Structure 1
Amino acid sequence: MVEGLEKKRKIEEEWSSIYASKQSLTRADFPPDFTFGVATAAFQVEGACDEDGRGPSIWDAFSHAPGNICDGSNADVAVDQYHRYKEDIELIAKLGFGAYRFSISWSRIFPDGLGTKVNIEGIRHYNNVINELLDKDIQPYVTLYHWDLPLNLLESMGGWVNEHILKYFAIYAETCFSSFGDRVKNWITINEPLQTAVNGYYTGVYAPGRREHSSNEPYLVAHHQLLAHAEAVSIYNKKYKDKQGGQIGLVVDCEWSEAMSDRLEDRNATTRRLDFQLGWFLDPIYFGDYPETMHEKLGDRLPKFSERHKELLKNSVDFIGLNHYTTRFVCHATDNREDNDFYRVQEVERIAEWEGGETIGEKAASPWLYMVPWGVWKVLNYISMRYNNPPVYITENGMDDEEDDTSPFHQMLDDKLRVSYYKGYLAAVHQAIKDGANVRGYFAWSLLDNFEWHLGYTKRFGLIYVDYKNGLTRHLKSSAYWFLRFFKAEGGKNLKLD
């Protein structure tokens, strides 16, 4: 207990000192070429599920199956960005963001996923979105895969468990490069492959909802996503990069893991936990293989890379995209109390409380999300040290409110806790840059309240409130106005952080 309380005191003193020095932080305090943007994902916002030739995705099927979405909803309409993209882009411009990270729906481009026939209407739609962004001086950051696999690829060949998917992803990726790359200069191949692997193929709470072969399928799915990423990057680098002048990366997600104590076993547990998050996907790219800790814990369950695959993966990112939301304490645990073998095999336990019962940070709506700004500072410095300071974009960062249709409308718009969240996390990002981390940009999640995967419409992450009961009208929240003032403040003196 004494050891834990001493650690708490040291972390809080260190962070308080850093935060106190940033009480007048504004846009002017970040590098001139630093990118500030907002982010969404196609399935969560577009709607228009069967319009203009779009084929069904695994999330369409999953969300329509009874019991998969906690409020029984689906994303057939979502927040209708397919039809309202001009309105939403106008709002991005109004708030002062210079970039928009969005994803392309694979099944809008190839309805069956196979690449046999391009859906011209899908190409037209994304051309319109990209052109509208550029007309507003907003740079598109395009994600090729944000979890919405064409349903036919699952039903006909098993989806990500089948190595043949690499061929179809490569066809899809090249079609996007050739169709949009004259204007899109920032590409992301795959978003959070860890979540697809674990929640899609182990816990089953994400599409496709598989858990029957959870001892090996998550690792096979992760392996194939890494190889699909590498194939797409190879095509881009060989055929498009020089003439189009863009860059391409991969988005990983990581909650920071802080050792519960300074005991060696807890520090080693923290290393294992980070290896099973970041190392799983970044070590093959930078070091040629999965982390040794994964080999030790998983043995033959961990797929092997051929020499060709190792060469394809080698340094196959121009930048790392980091999705970060929260932090946990980690301790060594051979008898893990969590009902989840993914943590048991790591021999770790994730803890959200200091010794003594105080939570690690103020809690958001989701049970997994606590406000711990110093976590992003630590994970950025960790990436910098472990991977030789690569360019990093924070591609998602934000928090959610509970949907509450009993609260007054003005109260739902006055999201003070979200404002506090962004203040703290941007201060931590600024400190990481000051420490030398090569952070190039920051994207707030999310532009809009939207369909929050298996949680349906019960959680709201948006800077912009979407009125689900009154025509999906958009309303700026206090956090949106905060960013507006953050960008307009001059000389770093006009905007207080408290």
Structure 2
Amino acid sequence: MKGLGDGDSSTGPGEVTRNDFPEDFFFGVATSAYQVEGGRAEGRRGDNIWDVFSETEGTIVIANGDIAVDQYHRYKEDVDLISKLGFNAYRFSLSWSRIFPDGLGTKVNEDGISYYNNLINALLDKGIQPFVTLYHWDLPYNLQTSIEGWLTKKIVEYFSIYAETCFESFGDRVKHWVTINEPLQTAVNGYDIGIFAPGRKDNPSTEPYLAAHHQLLAHASAVDVYRKKFKAKQGGEIGLVVDCEWAEPFSDRIEDKSAAERRIDFQLGWFLDPIFFGDYPKTMRARLGSNLPQFSDREKELLHRSLDFVGLNHYTSRLIAHMPSTSDQFYQVQEIEGIVNWPGGEAIGPRAASDWLYVVPWGLRKVLNYIAKKYENPMIYVTENGMDDEDSKVSALEQALDDKMRVDYFKGYLASVAQAISDGVDVRGYFAWSLLDNFEWAQGYTKRFGLVYVDYKNGLSRHPKASALWFSKFFKGAQ
């Protein structure tokens, strides 16, 4: 019963070509600072919440990001790799505590500014556009201990100071800014389930919504600073990155259709509705009541249209059915059940290494069309898309590099993006996650998302996988 919503793509995954995309389309790879950078004790960087969380017994599967894959020292090598593979953009994040070690914004760490200047200049020297994320989950630890991080409104002020320093230091060359990456994951995994730093889970009915609320206000405040002080002179653009799995109704029952709509409200609507419509979705207000914070009139004004583009991180899709619940935990309060098999028993798609990641290319087209229809066709970048392999201790290097499933994944998902563009969706770029195998948060180094294999046992040497080479051929018009 594959037919609910015509899930199958009309274009076969092998048929997508570079010519299916606009000439000025950005094709990039993405990383984040804590996952690849390392250099924890170098350049006067301050600790962040992941540094400390990773030291807590039982939180991380293997190791930490103290060294990660050492991009701090090997950025020139990595920039050369991006260039040789043919990508024209690189999305990376800045470490807040490398720029302000205590997070307070009282004294800039010039070593941190210098490092990012060198990285940005190296990219531009190779004709690669930097897409810079200000916050990808690595809050300065001092802000967590002194003001409870994202739970306190004071953090909006500190984030604005940090953002302004970055615009001032790098905005003459950086023309594409992201304020915050996946605020949902920080809110839910950091302040509800507790599997991400800072690992809080005692107040699931209130804390995730406070953390999300303050991230939204911090985003809007940073955008306000950029537009008032820098945009006219620097000529850049600024947006927010949200994450969304497509939610396909499990059946034609009205309950399942409503549940699928709720699921998307609790992902996209949570962050985009306040920006486009002035408040959280009605479905969230109905289920959360007074636990969902209110916006003042001034805050609504600040949030209004506070983005030049929507960044979308998308990996997978789910079938969604209605499931009654009395729990106040984030996933239960939605009253949904995520299902990975069609009513007839067939899987929604092949499973990657992570138990949550199924390969469902048509879901990306549906998410992109949903955003275009609901939010007046904004400019969109697909800021992350990819799949993982298990880290195998026994595979020969040749086997690890032959990632046929990932090649098929990218063929299918890129075809889905091309179809969305032909549907009229304003997609301007696509970023594969990830450039390198790296520290995969709570999974440590057990999962490999990279286009480039990192040999953890042999000096962190880099080896392009078949998927990386496929992209090179794709850019040249070959298959």
Alpha-carbon separation, structure 1, partners of 2:442 and 2:16: 36
Q: What is the identity, as a one-letter code, of the residue corresponding to 1:28?
A: N
Deviation at 1:358, TM superposition (A): 2.1
Q: CA offsets, 1:295-342, max 9 Å, x none? A: 000000000000110000000000000000000000111049xx9821
Q: CA offsets, 1:168-209, max 9 Å, x none? A: 000000000000000000000000000000000000000000
2:148 equivalent to 1:158? yes
1:129 alignment partner in structure 2 = 119
Q: What is the identity, as a one-letter code, of the residue corresponding to 1:195?
A: Q
2:434 equivalent to 1:446? yes
Residues 11 and 295 of structure 1: CA distance in aligned 2, closer, same or farther (over 3 Å): closer
Alpha-carbon separation, structure 2, partners of 1:214 and 1:347: 16
Alpha-carbon separation, structure 2, partners of 1:340 and 1:479: 42
2:470 equivalent to 1:482? yes
Query: 2:29, 2:433 within 8 Å by CA — same for their partners in 1?
Result: yes
Deviation at 1:24, TM superposition (A): 3.4
Q: 83, 87, 104: which is aligned to 1:114?
A: 104
Q: 4, 9, 15: which is aligned to 2:8?
A: 15
2:398 alignment partner in structure 1 = 410
1:351 alignment partner in structure 2 = 339
Deviation at 1:263, TM superposition (A): 1.1
Alpha-carbon separation, structure 1, partners of 2:270 and 2:29: 27
2:165 alignment partner in structure 1 = 175
2:51 equivalent to 1:51? no
Q: What is the identity, as a one-letter code, of the residue corresponding to 2:475?
A: F
For 1:321, what is the secondary structure of its paired residue?
strand
For 2:202, what is the secondary structure of its paired residue?
coil
For 2:346, what is the secondary structure of its paired residue?
coil
Q: CA offsets, 1:36-65, max 9 Å, x none? A: 000000000000001011000000000111
1:461 alignment partner in structure 2 = 449
Alpha-carbon separation, structure 2, partners of 1:242 and 1:9: 49
For 1:19, what is the secondary structure of its paired residue?
coil
1:39 alignment partner in structure 2 = 30
Q: Which runs of 5+ in 1 are unaligned?
A: none
Alpha-carbon separation, structure 2, partners of 1:355 and 1:261: 8
Aligned length: 479
Deviation at 1:372, TM superposition (A): 0.0
2:15 alignment partner in structure 1 = 24
TM normalised by structure 2 equals 0.98
Query: 2:196, 2:441 within 8 Å by CA — same for their partners in 1?
Result: yes
Alpha-carbon separation, structure 1, partners of 2:394 and 2:15: 36
Query: 2:238, 2:307 within 8 Å by CA — same for their partners in 1?
Result: yes
For 2:458, what is the secondary structure of its paired residue?
coil
2:136 equivalent to 1:146? yes
Q: CA offsets, 1:106-138, max 9 Å, x none? A: 000000000010000000000000000000000
TM normalised by structure 1 equals 0.95
Alpha-carbon separation, structure 2, partners of 1:334 and 1:469: 48
For 2:15, what is the secondary structure of its paired residue?
coil
Q: What is the identity, as a one-letter code, of the residue corresponding to 2:423?
A: D
Deviation at 1:214, TM superposition (A): 1.3
1:78 alignment partner in structure 2 = 68
Deviation at 1:9, TM superposition (A): 3.9
Q: Which runs of 5+ in 2 are unaligned?
A: none
Query: 2:204, 2:330 within 8 Å by CA — same for their partners in 1?
Result: no
1:231 alignment partner in structure 2 = 221
1:216 alignment partner in structure 2 = 206
Q: 369, 378, 392: which is aligned to 2:366?
A: 378
2:379 equivalent to 1:387? no
Alpha-carbon separation, structure 1, partners of 2:367 and 2:15: 24
1:62 alignment partner in structure 2 = 53
2:415 equivalent to 1:427? yes
Q: In percent, how many aligned pairs have the same letter?
A: 66
Q: 324, 327, 342: which is aligned to 2:317?
A: 327
Alpha-carbon separation, structure 2, partners of 1:307 and 1:341: 29
Deviation at 1:269, TM superposition (A): 0.7
Query: 2:4, 2:249 within 8 Å by CA — same for their partners in 1?
Result: no
Q: CA offsets, 1:6-28, max 9 Å, x none? A: xx14656x624x123x6432212
1:273 alignment partner in structure 2 = 263
2:90 alignment partner in structure 1 = 100
Alpha-carbon separation, structure 1, partners of 2:169 and 2:128: 19
346-355 or 463-472: which moved more? 346-355
Residues 11 and 297 of structure 1: CA distance in aligned 2, closer, same or farther (over 3 Å): closer
For 1:466, what is the secondary structure of its paired residue?
strand
2:252 alignment partner in structure 1 = 262
For 2:8, what is the secondary structure of its paired residue?
helix
1:207 alignment partner in structure 2 = 197
Q: What is the identity, as a one-letter code, of the residue corresponding to 1:126?
A: Y
- Correspondence 1:183-194 to 2 at 5 A: 183-194=173-184
Deviation at 1:353, TM superposition (A): 1.0
1:301 alignment partner in structure 2 = 291
For 1:258, what is the secondary structure of its paired residue?
strand
Deviation at 1:356, TM superposition (A): 3.0
For 1:286, what is the secondary structure of its paired residue?
helix
Deviation at 1:386, TM superposition (A): 0.3
Alpha-carbon separation, structure 1, partners of 2:60 and 2:4: 42
Alpha-carbon separation, structure 1, partners of 2:286 and 2:395: 51
2:275 alignment partner in structure 1 = 285
Alpha-carbon separation, structure 1, partners of 2:395 and 2:456: 14
Query: 2:137, 2:186 within 8 Å by CA — same for their partners in 1?
Result: yes
For 1:190, what is the secondary structure of its paired residue?
strand
Q: CA offsets, 1:82-119, max 9 Å, x none? A: 00000000000000000000000000000000001000
Deviation at 1:230, TM superposition (A): 0.3
Alpha-carbon separation, structure 2, partners of 1:76 and 1:335: 41
Alpha-carbon separation, structure 1, partners of 2:107 and 2:473: 47
Alpha-carbon separation, structure 2, partners of 1:236 and 1:93: 29
Deviation at 1:344, TM superposition (A): 1.6
Deviation at 1:442, TM superposition (A): 0.1
